[in-house]
A and B are shown apart, each in its own frame.
Chain A
Amino acid sequence: MDVPIEYFVLLSMALFSIGLFGILTRRNALLFLMSVEIMVNAANVNLIAFAFYHGNLTGQVFALFAMALAAAEVAIGLGIVLVLYRNFRDVDVTVPTTMRW
């Protein structure tokens, strides 16, 4: 294994930026959720890469935790999307604007 650490960081940056772009531009709640997942995985890539780089397993364990967390998050997120659809007949996140001042 002799891929330099910079490539992993670049990959992670690219994934994170893709996810961020998705959140800022998309209006569909499902795409929102996917973008968030991409960002979480960007972080996971970083964790594993640096764990490998330092020869320390803690980062990998953390990545496992983060995946479990992401799974739980998706479950809740999908639940919210479902409720959103029931109430508004739509999954557009800009439609429910009543939760504000």
Chain B
Amino acid sequence: MEGLFDYAPAIALFPLAAFVIALAFGPKLPKKGAIPGIVATGGSLLLSLAMLAAVAGGEEGYYHETLFTWAAGDAAGEIGTDAIEFTFGILIDPLAALMLVIVSLVAFLVHVFSLEYMNAEGETGLPRYYAGLGLFTFSMLAFVYADNLLMAFMFFELVGLCSFLLIGFWFRTRSAPSAAKKAFLVTRFGDYFFLIGVVAIAATFGTVQFAGEDSFVAAAAAAIDDGGQLFGFDAETWVTITGLLVLGGVIGKSAQFPLHTWLPDAMEGPTTVSALIHAATMVAAGVYLVARMFGYYALSPTALAIIAFVGGFTALFAATMGVVKDDIKQVLAYSTISQYGYMMLGLGVGGYVAGVFHLMNHAFFKALLFLGSGAVIVLMHHEQDMWKMGGLKDKAPVTYYTFLAGALALAGIVPFSGFWSKDEILYDALIVGLEQPLIMAAYAMGLIAVFFTGFYTFRMVFLTFHGEPRTETAEDPHSVGWAIKAPLLVLGVLATVAGLANLAPVAKLTGAEISFLEYWLDGEYGGLEALTYHSYHETVPFEEGAIGSETTTMLLGAGLSLGLALAGAFTAHALYNVPSPTRHTEKLGGAYDVLRSNYYQDEYQVWLAEGLTLPVARAADRFDQTVIDGAVDGVSSVSLFGGDRVKRIQSGIVTNYAALLVAGFIALLIVLGFLGGWFL
């Protein structure tokens, strides 16, 4: 089994090859590059599964290998002793193996789905599309098994570039290029902090490795134990600062408040791309990064509390905006932001397993929902407004039931996967929140968001599939083929049963050992010593409380969140599950305008750019033009003027030159004489 790990690089290289093939030969291929993409991602999926088996069955249970050193220097770190090295390496531990499977599975299904969504719809520019998908998958897979922070950063950036290329796929429209630019710029803003964080970590600890003896995580833990100073700060404060800098990139990529504004606009890309971005690649990259270097964040209670609070706030904030959207993809976009908020909340309170569990479940059900909405869009001849749909339930049963499974998982209704992970996150937040008021506030926001999630999810389901058809296209929808149905079915099954991976509440009640994911991430089946849930849990500095006993707390939390989710779903049922639903949004009054305008987030960010940054930039430009350029120009004009005057001594008369020579010689003689002390 161990020998399998030697093939690990191929996981990412397959999609890269597909990218090259699609780019070079795409126009000549029968499906314009779809086949290489499907084969490559299928190969990646098989290899990833093999990695999963190798991690579980191997003796060491992980793979950590440096493949290429591209820069090595002197020991430059504040406390690092070894020479700093920048390398490309592969780290496959239980977390990375799990994520590899998720990413390659979703990418594979998206490729298959594209056969019908893109090829059959007669799109142009398909080689470009498949090349983009291939590069996207490659970047994400390489990011997932990166063994150091710098490599992770590079592929993080590449993921951002690919999202730009794919969101702007329909570049002839007005909105798509603008959305692509926005996604690129907003995430780049966050990545700027990430870059500074990488540099700070490298400069502090002299290493950027994630795992092993010489990782920056271990170095940071040792520095905190020593109680020394780093760059004039407490070791712990410095860890918090650098952790938060890296978190900037996470907030940008995972669309957390306040850098979430790019994500809804990113719906301008093809729906398949949205599925890939939101379920498995770009947005997941942020949360995955937090999980990857969780040992580092666990050292800093402040950073964790900030992660938790931002997550909880984003969960509620985005969920409220999702309530009033009419576009099916927009609803899903806000639900994505909200769900990633939950993951951040889970990780922030130290619920490493809960966060990763939700990341996995979300990948399945959100890919399902996006592909389902893609199917709906095909059914509706590219209509995305839910008010023009209705009654699709009977005409497209496969789409309906799989979409329903995804919706139930998203809303967190027992026993679908989303319930188990969301409940675990909320439980982890609750027990920490009982001791920490700030976390309690984050928990409360997460809990309220459950109601909104249930509401908007089922509003979407009812408006799309239930009631009477509201337009002619809804009465006579386009049919969908196997390439759409098969991925939906696979994901539908996964969204339903993925919760079985970690039935923590059931395990606690019955005492049965069935929380497999926890054991998996705990390294019971193999893994690195320091990267287990157990060691993280010991590092996390939060106290845990309970209402009564642990079981009561758990049941209370689960009951509360399930009750709220059901309340949301039934509210949506009462309002929208009627033959001809009407808009109820005007009853919200002023709140409707605020929600509809996304809390004026875009407006204030545009104001920040135009009202604040632009004048500052103008002032800087003026300073540059006048003071800096003025000084440079001044020097040159003084030289010019001086030269113009001095050249007049060149009279062309040899006698004058001779006289000047003699005068100069005499002057020199006198000066030297004075300096040499002749006349003293």
Q: Which residues of A contact B (CB under 8 A)?
A: 20, 23-24, 27, 32, 93-94, 96-101
Residue B652 is within 8 A (CB to CB) of chain A in the complex: yes
Additional pairs, 16, CB under 8 Å, beyond known A97-B652, A100-B650: A20-B662, A23-B655, A23-B658, A24-B655, A27-B655, A93-B655, A94-B653, A94-B654, A94-B655, A96-B652, A97-B651, A97-B653, A99-B652, A100-B651, A100-B652, A101-B650
Within 8 A of A (CB), among B644-664: 647-648, 650-655, 658-659, 662
Contact with A along B662-679 (1 / 0, CB 8 A): 100000000000000000
Shortest Cβ distance from B648 into A: residue: A101
- Residue among B647, B648, B658, B659 facing the most chain A CB atoms (10 A cut-off): B658
Q: By the criterion CB–CB under 8 Å, are A101 and B655 in contact? A: no
Within 8 Å by CB of B658, from A24, A98, A99, lies: A24
Complexed CA–CA distance, A101 and B647 (Å): 7
Complexed CA–CA distance, A94 and B659 (Å): 13
- Shortest distance from the beta carbon of B492 to any chain A beta carbon, whole Å: 89
- Residue among B648, B650, B652, B662 facing the most chain A CB atoms (10 A cut-off): B652
Within 8 Å by CB of B653, from A20, A23, A93, lies: A93
Contact with A along B512-525 (1 / 0, CB 8 A): 00000000000000
For B652, list chain A residues within 8 Å (CB): 96-100
Complexed CA–CA distance, A96 and B653 (Å): 7
27 sampled A-B residue pairs with Cβ under 8 A: A20-B662, A23-B655, A23-B658, A24-B655, A24-B658, A24-B659, A24-B662, A27-B655, A32-B654, A93-B653, A93-B654, A93-B655, A94-B653, A94-B654, A94-B655, A96-B652, A97-B651, A97-B652, A97-B653, A98-B652, A99-B652, A100-B650, A100-B651, A100-B652, A101-B647, A101-B648, A101-B650
Complexed CA–CA distance, A20 and B666 (Å): 13
Complexed CA–CA distance, A99 and B659 (Å): 17
Complexed CA–CA distance, A90 and B653 (Å): 15
- Shortest distance from the beta carbon of A24 to any chain B beta carbon, whole Å: 6
Q: Which residues of B contact A (CB under 8 A)?
A: 647-648, 650-655, 658-659, 662
- Shortest distance from the beta carbon of A35 to any chain B beta carbon, whole Å: 9
Shortest Cβ distance from A26 into B: residue: B655
- Shortest distance from the beta carbon of B668 to any chain A beta carbon, whole Å: 16
Nearest 10 pairs of A and B residues by beta carbon: A100-B652, A97-B652, A101-B647, A100-B650, A93-B654, A23-B658, A94-B653, A101-B650, A99-B652, A24-B659
For A32, list chain B residues within 8 Å (CB): 654
Shortest Cβ distance from B644 into A: residue: A101
Complexed CA–CA distance, A97 and B658 (Å): 15
For B653, list chain A residues within 8 Å (CB): 93-94, 97
For B655, list chain A residues within 8 Å (CB): 23-24, 27, 93-94
For A97, list chain B residues within 8 Å (CB): 651-653
Complexed CA–CA distance, A27 and B659 (Å): 13
For B648, list chain A residues within 8 Å (CB): 101
Complexed CA–CA distance, A98 and B650 (Å): 10
Complexed CA–CA distance, A3 and B651 (Å): 45
For B659, list chain A residues within 8 Å (CB): 24
- Shortest distance from the beta carbon of B646 to any chain A beta carbon, whole Å: 10
Complexed CA–CA distance, A45 and B647 (Å): 38
Complexed CA–CA distance, A30 and B655 (Å): 13
For A20, list chain B residues within 8 Å (CB): 662
Complexed CA–CA distance, A97 and B648 (Å): 13
For A24, list chain B residues within 8 Å (CB): 655, 658-659, 662
For A93, list chain B residues within 8 Å (CB): 653-655
Complexed CA–CA distance, A100 and B652 (Å): 5
Complexed CA–CA distance, A20 and B658 (Å): 9
Complexed CA–CA distance, A27 and B653 (Å): 10
Shortest Cβ distance from B650 into A: residue: A100
Complexed CA–CA distance, A23 and B657 (Å): 10
Complexed CA–CA distance, A99 and B654 (Å): 10
Complexed CA–CA distance, A99 and B650 (Å): 9
- Shortest distance from the beta carbon of A14 to any chain B beta carbon, whole Å: 16
For A94, list chain B residues within 8 Å (CB): 653-655
- Shortest distance from the beta carbon of A50 to any chain B beta carbon, whole Å: 20
Complexed CA–CA distance, A93 and B651 (Å): 12
Shortest Cβ distance from B653 into A: residue: A94
For B650, list chain A residues within 8 Å (CB): 100-101
- Shortest distance from the beta carbon of A2 to any chain B beta carbon, whole Å: 30
Complexed CA–CA distance, A99 and B652 (Å): 5
Complexed CA–CA distance, A33 and B659 (Å): 16
For B658, list chain A residues within 8 Å (CB): 23-24
For B651, list chain A residues within 8 Å (CB): 97, 100
